Amino acid sequence: MSEYILGIETSCDETAAAIVKDGKEIVSNVVASQIESHKRFGGVVPEVASRHHVEHITLVLEETFAQAGLTMKEMAAVTVTEGPGLVGALLVGVNTAKALAFAHGKPLIGVHHIAGHIYANRLVKEFDFPVLALVVSGGHTELILMKEHGNFEIIGETRDDAAGEAYDKIARTLKLPYPGGPKIDQLSAEGTESIDFPRAWLEEGSFDFSFSGLKSSVINTLHNAKQRGENLKEKDIAASFQASVVDVLVEKTYRAAKKYGVKQVIVAGGVAANRGLRVAMNEKFEEEELELMFPPLKLCTDNAAMVAAAGSVAYHQGHRADWDLNANPSLSLERYATRGK
């Protein structure tokens, strides 16, 4: 018999619910984006996001079940992002999930948001371990090694800004409309890499990232040019900035893939939608005997199908949350992976 898992995701500014069959197949996947609302403020305002989640959540659930033609009775478990994310936003999802699980006597399972991003790929293709995942988004830049299901080892992470955060800040400096990341990617395609911005390689052998130096360098370059009365082309700045970010992401992922002899490399998270990154990754890994995977666009950005996919594995591994499950805005991936062990 098929196993259906309900997923709920409200960690940032998307109110999402989904039903996934056997951990691998999307039955329904509904996302209510708040992007239009947050555009007014040039970024996500946490309190506004939380308010929208309460307004949308039951509607999103209704749509999710209607599209699937299923009811709560057929669900094997209710899974929800418990962290990391914005605490007020997470709380709406967590309490919604608890109410659903309680009302129908179903198991409740908390899911780590990044585990979700990685498992988005299992909705496309089964994992072939060991797997290396590069997770890049507004809040994350991490290299994660997986030797088996539910096992996550962080081998590299950002020491300051996340890649997506750097994109947003540079976009704001260039006065591009929110959300700025896709806009920079678009401009980059038209521009040329005329400025040699720094690449932060850090210590020999390190898989960590740092983008704050790059960010300052871009801002200084703009400032100096302005003082000299020079007019730098927006698209060239975008192209040069993106080249620096992409170079480091691609090279570190490549080195890690070699070192750990992985069979699959997955690029996940909102920035995985970046065309510049996709092209560069494909070129770098072209000759390699491993599989390079990008989940489809709508599974890269925040959604609940990825939560249900990761939750399905947790369900089979016997993880169950109690009724006192709370939102955990700084939930660590490694703590999550080793819980109950």
Closest to other proteins by CB, 57 vs 266, is: 57
Q: Which of residues 97-136 bind other proteins (CB under 8 A)?
A: 98-100, 102-105
Residue that the structure tokens 């089979």 belong to: 316
Residue nearer to other proteins on the CB measure, 87 or 290: 87
128 binds, among Zn ion, other proteins, none (CB under 5 to 8 A by kind): none
Q: Which does 54 bind (CB under 5 to 8 A by kind): other proteins, Zn ion, none?
A: other proteins
User: What's the min distance (Å) between Cβ of 80 and other proteins?
Assistant: 11
Distance (Å, rounded) from C-alpha 84 to C-alpha 114?
8
Binding flag, residue 77, other proteins (CB under 8 A):
no
Question: Which 243-262 residues touch other proteins, going by CB under 8 A?
Answer: none
Q: Which stretch binds other proteins (CB under 8 A): 47-55, 153-161, 170-178, 190-198?
A: 47-55
Indicate the residue among 165 and 302 with the shorter CB distance to Zn ion: 302
Which residues, in sequence order, are CB contacts of 242 under 8 Å at separation 6+?
A: 184, 185, 188, 274, 276
Piece of 66-74, 87-95, 131-139, 326-334 that binds Zn ion (CB under 5 A): 131-139
Contact stretch for other proteins (CB under 8 A) within 83-91, 197-205, 216-224, 267-275: 83-91
- Alpha-carbon distances, residue 63 vs 20, 36, 135, 228 (angstroms): 14, 20, 29, 56
CB 120 within 8 A of CB 305: yes
Q: How far apart are CA 185 and CA 162, in angstroms?
A: 16
Specify the amino acid at residue 260.
Answer: Y
Q: Which is nearer to other proteins, 87 or 232 (CB)?
A: 87
By C-beta, is 88 or 276 nearer to other proteins?
Answer: 88
Under a CB-based contact definition with an 8 Å cutoff, are residues 49 and 86 in contact? yes
163-173 and 180-190 are packed helices; what angle lies between their axes, rounded to 10 degrees? 70
Site size toward other proteins, by CB under 8 A: 36
296 to 325, contacts with other proteins by CB under 8 A?
322-325
Q: Does 137 bind Zn ion (CB under 5 A)?
A: yes
Burial class (CB in 10 A: 0-12, 13-18, 19+), 213: middle
Q: Candidates 95-103, 157-165, 288-296, 298-306 — which segment interacts with other proteins by CB under 8 A? A: 95-103
Cα dihedral sign, 51-57-58-63: positive
Cβ count near 222 (within 10 Å): 18
Binders of Zn ion among 280-339, rule CB under 5 A? Answer: 302
Residue pair 26/20 in contact (Cβ under 8 Å)? The answer is yes
Beta pairing, strands 141-146 & 131-136: antiparallel
- From the list Zn ion, other proteins, none, partner contacted by residue 155 (C-beta under 5 to 8 A by kind): none
Residues that bind Zn ion (CB under 5 A): 137, 302
Interface ranges with other proteins (CB under 8 A)? 40-41, 45, 47-48, 50-51, 53-55, 57-59, 61-62, 72, 87-88, 91-92, 94-96, 98-100, 102-105, 322-327
